[in-house]
Amino acid sequence: MSMGDGNGRDDPKRQKRIEDLKRQAAELTGGEMAGWKSPDLTPELEEEFLKGVVAYESAPLAVPIAAGDAMKIE
């Protein structure tokens, strides 16, 4: 049984998850994603990074409360 290269590059399930995350990120950004990937980037790190991109892009927008509004008591 081959254990692969140990970095997940030969893990078809991980590669599918990465492709799904890339697709989700592209959809969330309206197809306006630009990027570059180092050949040294491991699939584990790429997957974690893309999870963060998807989480950020799909998070609800927050509106900051003005300092004066926070002090009002009714």
Cα–Cα distance between 47 and 39 in angstroms, integer? 14
Cα–Cα distance between 68 and 29 in angstroms, integer? 34
Measured between alpha carbons, how far is residue 50 from residues 46, 63, 65, 72 in Å?
Answer: 6, 25, 30, 41
Containing 51, the helix (H) or strand (E) segment is helix 43-58
What does the domain layout of the chain look like in residue ranges?
Answer: 12-58
This prediction has a pTM of 0.70
List, for the chain, all residue ranges whose pLDDT scores fall below the cut of 50. Answer: 1-3
- Decide if 57 contacts 21 (C-beta within 8 A): no
Tokens encoding 30: 């309206």
pLDDT of residue 61: 84
